[in-house]
């Protein structure tokens, strides 16, 4: 499975000139059978997953959230497909 790990710029909500969030891809890796990827609330908690083969994924949320609480804490983002001008790993994004 391909995993792109992304953070907000300098752990802030820095915005581009047109008001979109700026995010930085900090890692691009392939997770294979038996490997794990750990994401925390403060580091690398924005992520993109893409199965390259048949994949079974176990996603564990801690601490345990109630169903309503967990849904209210989710944030879904759309990212521009190409980096901002003169950058290779910084993208504009917006909350859906």
* pLDDT tens-digit readout, 59-90: 776 666 676 776 676 777 889 999 998 889 99
Is 17 strand, coil or helix?
A: coil
pLDDT of residue 80: 92
Summarised one tens digit per residue, pLDDT across range 15-49 is 778 888 888 888 888 888 888 877 776 766 777 88
Distances (CA, A) of 39 to 3, 28, 42, 45, 46: 11, 13, 8, 5, 8
Name every residue whose Cβ is closer than 8 Å to that of residue 24 and which is 6 or more positions away in sequence.
6, 7, 8, 9, 89, 90, 91
* pLDDT value at 11 more than 60: no
């Amino acid at each position: 499975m391909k995993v792109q790990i992304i953070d907000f710029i300098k752990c802030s909500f820095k915005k581009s000139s047109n008001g979109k969030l700026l995010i930085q891809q900090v890692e691009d890796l392939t997770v294979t059978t038996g490997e794990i990827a750990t994401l925390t609330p403060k580091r690398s908690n924005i992520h993109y997953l893409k199965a390259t083969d048949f994949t079974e994924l176990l996603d564990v949320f801690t601490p345990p959230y109630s169903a309503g609480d967990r849904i209210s804490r989710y944030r879904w983002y759309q990212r521009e497909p190409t980096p901002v001008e003169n950058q290779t790993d910084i993208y504009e994004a917006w909350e859906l």
